[in-house]
Structure 1
Amino acid sequence: MSSLDTYRRKRDFDVTPEPRAELVEAGGDRLSFVVQKHDATRLHYDFRLEWKGVLLSWAVTKGPSADPSEKRLAVRTEDHPVAYGAFEGTIPEGQYGGGTVMLWDNGWWEPLHDPEEGLKQGKLHFRLHGARMKGGWALVRMRGKEKRENWLLIKERDDFAGRSADALTNKHKTSVTTGRAMRAIAADKPAARPATHGMALPRFREVQLATLKDAPPAGDGWQHEAKFDGYRCLIAVGKGGVRLYTRNGKDWSDRFGALCDPAAALECDAALIDGEVIAGGGGGDFSTLQKALKEGGELTYYAFDCLHLDGKDLTGKPLTERRAALEGLFDGLPPRGVMRLSPVIEGDGDAALDAMCRAGGEGIVSKRMDAPYRGGRGRAWIKSKCSRRAEFVVAGWSPSDKRGRPFSSLLLGSYEGGALVYRGRVGAGFDGDAFDELMAAFSGSDRKTPPFDEDLPAETRGAKWVTPRLVVEVEYTEFTAEGRIRHGVYKGLREDKEAGEVSARAEAATDGGDEKIGGVRISSAGRVVYPDAGLTKGDVARHYETVAERMLEYAADRPVSLLRCPEGIEGESFFQKHAGKGFPDAVKSMPVEEKDGGTEDYIYIAAPEGLLGAAQMGTIEFHIWGAARDRIERPDRMVFDLDPDEGLSFADLKKAAQEVREGLEACGLESVPMVTGGKGVHVIVPLRRVAEWDTVKGFSKTFATILAERHPDRYTATMSKAKRKGRVFIDWLRNERGATAIAPYSLRARPGAPVAVPVTWDELAKLEAANGFHPADMKARLGRDCPLQSVKARGISGATVDALDAWSRE
């Protein structure tokens, strides 16, 4: 017996346009839900949740309410087929449920516990991701002896809750997919009518492309959107009709024909819109899109940019203005219709990518909000992927000895610097249609020799070579050290891309496989971070695993700023002092009161896993506060950063450090030098935690000023570049509240991978540069006591200030 038997018995499918009763297998990770406004004997809303191949159904008499205090009666009805979730129309009079049906909302639902157990116990808790119903909801079965099964639909208290009982149903009175009202559906009026366009059709222009990076950019000024798994498409609307172009300018108006009428209904004189064509109702992958194009299936267009509107070229305007124009153009369109706005994902880049990956998406594209639109690939758009996927050129195929399988694998390449580079093979993901399509495409393109200039591996022996002109999309687990893919899965032909423009260099560079280091997973561990030194992301993590115990003696449990270089030291870098949502749990946060009286959460590290977790996020340098978090207003170190002018030698710098040491000793303070891994030296003074920030800052400023006034030809205590000429800048500003200095044993994002290392005064005298220590030196270094442990911490007291005054008069 099928759970759809009741549905089937109640309907005459020769009369009603409702879909037939068919069980379906699960179509993906997401379970659909739909709400249909139904004007039958009595107006109500049918609430349906996909489960086990059917739609569980309830009739909500007054419609859903976003007010948590409202408990709406929901009468359980017969299960419906999943296909019913797309039904909108009129059930003929005399048929069961006769009347008009509107698709009022749809999307996907997320069970918060086992639905089977919930149905049995009479308590279903779930989260809805719809166009209109969002957030947490509950269905609770009522107790009683009625024949019908009565439940209550209740909104949970969260960010999507409302205060008015009927605001949700009063606000939304049109179809979520066609934009039609109940009367228009009953009259069978079309979903979209062509608008009148008064200006010439805009011409195609080169599309802007995103640059692949290992992580999204941080900081303000970026907008994050979903990365779609479809075909890039420019839509031109104007007096000449509608044209739909691929990224290379091919007119695919016929292939994307299902989008022509909805695009023609846009109310404007003329427009040129950038976006992506997706399969089905917006959730299909590239393979599904290929099938939809062949079979005339449903397509959805997600628009994300507007290049021209009503005679005005918008490409020189910032993204914020272009987005506003696009939103105005799409205002009033049904939120789940064929033409949709690309949603902007809230939060910083790491949190946006994390949310997209958890939702099963492909990745995100981050866009500078102040940047104009520029054709070609640039850094104003950055793409970050959840799964590894790329395009490759087919160079040949390996014959198969299995019946019905014309080849065992495709041999792939990509063009790098004009030469075709071998990228491995793909032998999975093919069905009968794919075999037929590819073999037909190979016809007439045979060649006797491989199209590669390099030596090829044994796996290519016996291959049938072809002219490299076909482009395919492949999903893979990783690139090997040789730059070849592992565990490739074929996803489809890319007819919108030319072979000569296919490069996988960015994918290979940001890959390298995962590796567990110090118990922490390091992704893309083989990606090169220091090109000149040949050190990888994994090597950076191994350095911090090695020095963790020693480094945390000075860097643990205090606010820290991270210098992140997701692309390596030659790429973009940025400081981060507030942890994003995508950070590992071992990278912790602590509340710190700001100067304006507000409170912000600052990063701190408490354990080796924190150092490694930060390295996983692309961190190279750690910069620490001068106070620990248990007594944040009482510094435990004072730092003088000696920064030499370009023309000075390291010998000049060592002499300056000795003079700073002697002055401090005159004040009763012991110090330790640290070569920073750059060009400077830090003179570090361990402190007892008796003085507050103003006292430490005042002492350090006075000390630096005295030394600069005593030797004005050799020192300056001001930041002015002009006053540094031929001098050493004694930077006392590291001792302000909120200021940071490079942590002992931290790597530096400089050529050669230098490390900041505390040394003794005798060692300093023998060193030839401040960047002479590297990760390979650390094991031997850790076998010795740290010089910072050899001096006694003293407090800045009245006696210390008196000694400073006496020294100033010497």
Structure 2
Amino acid sequence: MTRLEAYHGKRDFEVTPEPRDGGRADGLAPVYSMQNHDATRLHWDLRLEYDGVLLSWAITRGPSLDPADKRLAVQTEDHPMSYLDFEGTIPKGNYGAGTVMLWDVGHWQPLSDVAKGLKKGHLSFVLHGLRMTGRWDMIRLKPEGKRVNWLLVKHEDAAAHGPDPVKRYTTSVATRRTMDAIAEDAPTAPPPPRKTALPRWRQPQLATLTDRLGDPEQRWHELKFDGYRALVAVGKGGARIYTRNGHDWTDRFLPLVPAFEELPCDAALIDGEITVGAGLYGFGRLQKAIKLGGPFHFHAFDLLKRDGEDLTGLPLTNRRAALEELFTDTPPLGLLQLSPVLRGDASDAFDRVCHTGGEGLISKRMDAPYRGGRSTAWEKIKCIKRDEFVVIGWQDSDKKGRPFASLALGIEEAGEMVYAGKIGTGWDADTMDEIAARLKPLARKTAPAPVPAAEARGMNWVTPRLVVEVRYAEVTEDGRLRHPSFEGLREDKPADQVRRDPPTAALETAAETKPKARGSAPAKPQRSTKAAAVADAGDKRATTAANGRVTIAGISLSSPDRRVFPQARHTKRDVAEYYARAADRMLRFAGDRPLSLVRLPEGLEGERFFQKHAGKGFPDAIRTVEIAEKSGAAEYMTVRDAAGLVGAVQMGTIEFHIWGARNDRVERPDRMVFDLDPDEGLGFDAVKAGAFEIRDRLDALGLPSWPLLTGGKGVHVVVPLRRTAGWETVSLFSRMLAELCARDAPERYTATMSKAKRKGRIFIDWLRNQRGATAIAPWSLRARAGAPVAVPVTWTELEATDRANLFTLDDALNRDPEATPPPGPVSLSAAVLKRLESRL
């Protein structure tokens, strides 16, 4: 039975205007809609995208914003994705006959696993619609015959207790028609009439970079958003959205337009920032949202004009009051939001913003008028170093299917283009193809800036037109970016406007400071040392305090300059920064698992030891999971975020070794590992041959696998498992396979750990699959000379690889983490075990 069989069986598509099939289900966030349906009984139909269809419920009295109200929601058949924006009249005699109004549309954000929620009977989610916003809960009641009844309840948040939406909204969000007009098939109603012409775009006010928070007596602070600056004009003819340079990008942000057209004004010019919405974050996600049509949020922070009146000459406080009045009736937590204002000492707020990965703060003089261009009336204090650069060249990749290996960056300084280094990470395959296509017509024979010969080798030069946004740790003394990572293309900023920000300074104006008396002491800092440490950051995860410690991913790191890898000249800070940057890719494998850490508190040349239980002084970010043992329950270490990884580094950790099971089901492994450990005299070709042999044997049993370069001498062959078998089964299977290999080729393999029996052979270590055993985590550093990293590769790449320590701390993160997607998990069934047993 297909998901839509019930839907199709109830309808005659020769008669009803309802869609039969179709609609997309490939957006950045799942879509949502609610339709007002005047059938036998007036109700509201809730539609939530899931698994290629629209889950559907009939809300008998419509949604309520009062958390005390529990509205009955009768689950109905799944609908096709194309039903999302359906509006019209279903003829009499048909199932669901009556008028259907598109009452709300947008995206929804599940707060937990949807499949588990449907099975358990409790869904928690956030709606990001034009009308319905905030968190909601759906709770299933006990069955009553064939009907499946749920309750829809509003969660207590900023969107709760608003005006009754059923009474407030009586027209379509798509056509602005009433129910009667839809029934009569009337044309789309025009937007609210406005007489004043659209205000013209004007140059926006820009902030000057500084390293201090402003005087709380004269300034307030707002969040620095991670998006596109936009000026929005509302007036006769609707709404238009302009970039900071005056380009009309209304078509790229169309989902926001209906919300702007509902604002209670005849005309307005609003300054703000557009970010990705529906619970998603980051500039890269925003670029994808632009391609896919959403989701978006607009954060308004200034009002330049309203109803023909120019407000730019008024103090910021007056303009803000007018902006808040304009936004009085917008749905809280909706598509249009006011930028939060932080009054008073913002030190603690700044620390929290940086700790949670925010951009920083904007400090604004409360008494200042609005003036286009850059000035000290607005100042920006960054948690991270993140700037625009122009691409001046690209290097060929030796990896099949990759259009380039790295990009050369440039930036204008003192009227001249200077080389800023190379970047080789941060993009996916689609973005690489897009960049390559844009660079192709810009080819030129000479370098646009002086580049050292060693770094220019193999470079293809281009005219500096393409602008990219880059996150980086710091700028070295020779002007190179340290640990750069691509964030996205900047189509809103032309290349000739990309210049290096001047060094930060304690910028003061006469309006903010009194003249110092001759011979007086220097002025005291306007913020705490802790806040200063955050503002002086070289990376959003790394900040330096006056006492020499650094803060990375919210963890205070002592002795950051101590050499951990003497030969490779890498410090404790380098190790912490690596794990902070590698967190997303590494936690896919190592997050929420019991861990063992390899600690070297004095670096590579000091003592090393394994540790699986947290000791005294371990950071709170290193969490624990309770696991039953013969002697009683024991607390094992586990991590779930970048702070946990860096917290382990603070305790001297270099390597992370992981269990083969997750915390939530420690008795059900989700991975099986064959560790190929060669005798000292064997070369890497023998190890590769062994890995391919194990792969082939696994494939013959229906068990796909992937290889991991361990960063040491060997290779791990990893089989992702469905969590259906226990430790005994997985251990037994891996032992039988290892013994089968040793039996068939005793001159090449051994399944016994004994050093004596390993001479000239490869030990196929199946013991990694016993309960409590661990294996090196993918993307973990190894405590070996050169700072190698354990990196997943493809079988094709393994064939061309000549060593297991191919990747190091310096270059591992240049590798696209999506380049080696692991195969889907498989079940280690009794039938598979029997097939293996038959071969012994």
What interval of TM-score do these two structures reach, taking the shorter chain for normalisation? 0.5 to 0.7
Structure 2 CA distance for partners of 1:496 and 1:131, relative to 1, 3 Å: closer
**Distance in 1 between the 2:396 and 2:290 partners?**
29
User: Structure 2 stretches of 5 or more lacking a match?
Assistant: 507-532, 560-618, 622-642, 651-840
Q: Deviations over 1:317-358 (max 9, x none)?
A: 123332444455567778899xx6443337676787799899
Partner residue in 1 for 2:228: 230
Deviation at 1:410, TM superposition (A): 1.8
Q: Which moved more, 1:261-270 or 1:3-12?
A: 261-270
Shift of 1:53: 4.6
**Number of the residue aligned with 2:370:** 373
1:397 deviation in Å?
1.7
**Partner Cα distance (1:89, 1:386) in 2:** 51
Alignment counterpart, residue 541 of structure 1, candidates 549, 563, 585: 549
Aligned partners of 1:278, 1:408: CA distance in 2, in Å?
A: 29
313, 318, 322: which is aligned to 1:321?
Answer: 318
Q: Would the aligned equivalents of 2:383 and 2:535 in 1 still touch at CA under 8 Å?
A: no
In the alignment, which residue of structure 1 is the partner of 2:100? Answer: 100
- Greater C-alpha Rg: 1
**How does 1:569-588 map onto structure 2 within 5 Å?**
none
Deviation of the 1:497 alpha carbon: 1.9
- Deviation string 1:640-681 (CA, Å, 9 cap, x unpaired) is xxxxxxxxxxxxxxxxxxxxxxxxxxxxxxxxxxxxxxxxxx
Cα distance, 1:244–1:141 mapped onto 2, change above 3 Å: closer
Question: In the aligned structure 1, how far is the partner of 2:499 from the partner of 2:146?
Answer: 65
Q: Tell me how far apart the structure 1 counterparts of residues 385 and 11 of structure 2 sit (CA, whole Å).
A: 47
User: Who is 1:804 aligned against?
Assistant: none
Q: 1:508 to 1:322 in 2, by over 3 A?
A: closer
- Residues 440-465 of structure 1: CA deviation (Å, up to 9, x unaligned): 5553651424413xx63734322122
Contact 2:443 2:460 in 1 (8 A): no
Q: 1:473 and 2:472 equivalent? A: no
In structure 1, the residue matched to 2:387 is 390
- TM-score, structure 1 as length reference: 0.52
SS at match of 1:415: strand
Structure 2 SS opposite 1:392: strand
Distance 1:145 1:246, change over 3 A: closer
1:19/1:365 CA distance change after superposition, 3 Å: farther
Aligned counterparts of 1:46 and 1:468: Cα–Cα separation in 2: 52
CA distance in 1, matches of 2:383, 2:122: 34
User: Residues 457, 173 of structure 1: CA spacing in aligned structure 2 closer, same or farther, 3 A cutoff?
Assistant: farther
Q: Compared with structure 1, are the counterparts of its residues 58 and 157 closer, same or farther at alpha carbon in structure 2 (3 Å cutoff)?
A: same
Deviation for aligned residue 1:392 = 0.9
Look up the match of 1:27. Answer: 28
Please report how far the alpha carbon of residue 232 of structure 1 lies from its aligned counterpart in structure 2 after TM superposition.
Answer: 3.1
* Contact persistence 1:4–1:22 (CA under 8 A): no
Q: Distance in 2 between matches of 1:35 and 1:252?
A: 28
Question: 1:110, 1:346 → 2: CA distance?
Answer: 29
Partner of 1:108, secondary structure, is strand
Secondary structure, in 3 states, of the residue corresponding to 2:549? helix
Among candidates 396, 401, 411, match of residue 399 of structure 1: 396
Give the counterpart letter for 1:451 in structure 2.
A
Q: Cα offset for 1:61?
A: 0.9
Q: Aligned partners of 2:262 and 2:66: how far apart in 1?
A: 36
- Is 1:345 matched with 2:340? yes
Partner SS for 1:169: helix
**Equivalences for 1:128-277 in 2 at 5 Å?**
137-155=136-154, 162=161, 167-175=164-172, 181-186=178-183, 187=185, 189-190=187-188, 192-193=190-191, 195-198=193-196, 202-211=199-208, 219=216, 222=220, 224=222, 227=225, 229-230=227-228, 232-233=230-231, 235=233, 237=235, 245-250=242-247, 271-276=268-273
For 1:182 and 1:421, locate their aligned partners in 2 and report how far apart those are by CA, in whole Å. Answer: 63
Structure-to-structure mapping, 1:684-699, within 5 angstroms: none
What CA distance in whole angstroms lies between the structure 1 residues aligned with 2:133 and 2:253?
A: 31
Amino acid at match of 2:318: E
Structure 1, residues 99-123: CA drift from partner, whole Å, max 9, x if none?
2133346553453x55444433334
1:84/1:232 Cα in 2 relative to 1: closer, same or farther (>3 Å)? same
1:460 aligns with 2:456: yes
Query: In the TM superposition, what whole-angstrom CA distance separates every residue of 1:23-47 from its partner, at most 9, and x where no partner exists?
Result: 846735xx65543332222211223
Q: Deviation string for 1:598-625 (max 9, x for gaps)? A: xxxxxxxxxxx9xx99xx9xxxxxxxxx
Conservation of the 8 A alpha-carbon contact between 1:282 and 1:300: no
Q: Is the 8 A contact 1:195 1:267 kept in 2?
A: no
Residue by residue, what CA displacement relative to the aligned partner does 1:387-430 show, whole Å, maximum 9, x if unpaired?
86432111122234455554332211222333333222234426
Paired amino acid for 2:340 = I
Structure 1 residue aligned with 2:497:
501
Partners of 1:270 and 1:354 lie apart in 2 by 38
Counterpart AA for 1:40:
A
| Residues 364 and 379 in structure 2, CA contact (< 8 A), matched pair in contact too | yes
Match of 2:7, SS? Answer: helix
| Separation in structure 1 between the aligned mates of residue 358 and residue 134 of structure 2, nearest angstrom | 19
Distance verdict in 2 for CA 1:267–1:395, change over 3 Å: same
Residues 448 and 237 of structure 1: is their aligned pair in 2 closer, same or farther, counting only changes over 3 Å?
same
Q: State the SS of the aligned residue for 1:100.
A: strand
Aligned residue in 2 for 1:119: 118
Q: Distance in 2 between matches of 1:261 and 1:62?
A: 26
What is the TM-score with the length of structure 2 in the denominator?
Answer: 0.50
Cα distance in 1, alignment partners of residues 393 and 287 from structure 2: 22
Offset at residue 303 of structure 1 (A): 4.9
Contact 1:177 1:334 in 2 (8 A): no
SS in 2 for 1:446: coil
Instruction: Determine the C-alpha separation between the residues in 1 that align with 2:312 and 2:138.
Output: 49
* Shift, 1:439, TM fit: 4.3
Letter in 2 for 1:537: A
Count matched residues: 527
Cα pair 1:327 1:341 within 8 Å, conserved: no
Residues 123 and 138 in structure 1, CA contact (< 8 A), matched pair in contact too: yes
C-alpha displacement at 1:135, in angstroms?
Answer: 5.6
Asked if the contact 1:34/1:48 (under 8 Å) is kept, the reply is: yes
Distance in 2 (alpha carbons) for counterparts of 1:252 and 1:546? 47
1:373–1:96 distance in 2 versus 1, CA, 3 Å: farther
Contact 2:34–2:105 (Cα < 8 Å) also in 1: yes
Tell me which residue corresponds to 1:6. Answer: 6
CA shift, 1:484, in A, is 3.8
Looking at structure 1, the residues matched to 279 and 134 of structure 2 have their Cα atoms a distance apart, in angstroms, of 20
1:315: Cα distance to partner?
0.9
Residues 177 and 335 in structure 1, CA contact (< 8 A), matched pair in contact too: no
How many percent of aligned residue pairs carry the same amino acid? 46
Which whole-Å CA distance do the structure 1 matches of 2:241 and 2:135 have between them? 39
Quickly say closer, same or farther: Cα 1:60–1:257, change in 2 above 3 A.
closer
Change (3 A) 1:86 1:474: farther
**In 2: Cα distance, 1:58 partner to 1:461 partner:** 62
| CA shift in 2, pair 1:90/1:438, >3 Å | farther
Taking the TM superposition and a 5 Å limit, the aligned residue runs for 1:766-781 are none
Distance 2:423 2:140 in 1: 52
> How far, CA to CA, are the matches of 2:453 and 2:267 in structure 1?
54
In the alignment, which residue of structure 2 is the partner of 1:411?
408
Q: Is the CA contact 2:232–2:239 (under 8 Å) kept in the aligned structure 1? A: no
Q: Could you tell me how far apart the structure 2 residues matched to 1:356 and 1:523 are?
A: 10
| CA gap 1:367/1:389 in 2 versus in 1, 3 angstroms | same
Secondary structure in 2 aligned to 1:62? coil
1:63 aligns with 2:62: yes
Distance 1:527 1:102 in 2: 49
Q: Report if the CA contact (8 A) 2:289-2:295 is conserved.
A: yes
Structure 1: runs of 5+ lacking an equivalent? 511-521, 529-534, 548-583, 587-608, 617-810
Distance in 2, matches of 1:224 and 1:136, equals 25
> 2:723 maps to which residue?
none
CA distance in 2, matches of 1:444, 1:105: 42
- SS of the aligned residue for 1:443 comes to helix
Going from structure 1 to structure 2, the CA distance change for 1:461 and 1:144 (only over 3 Å counts) comes to closer
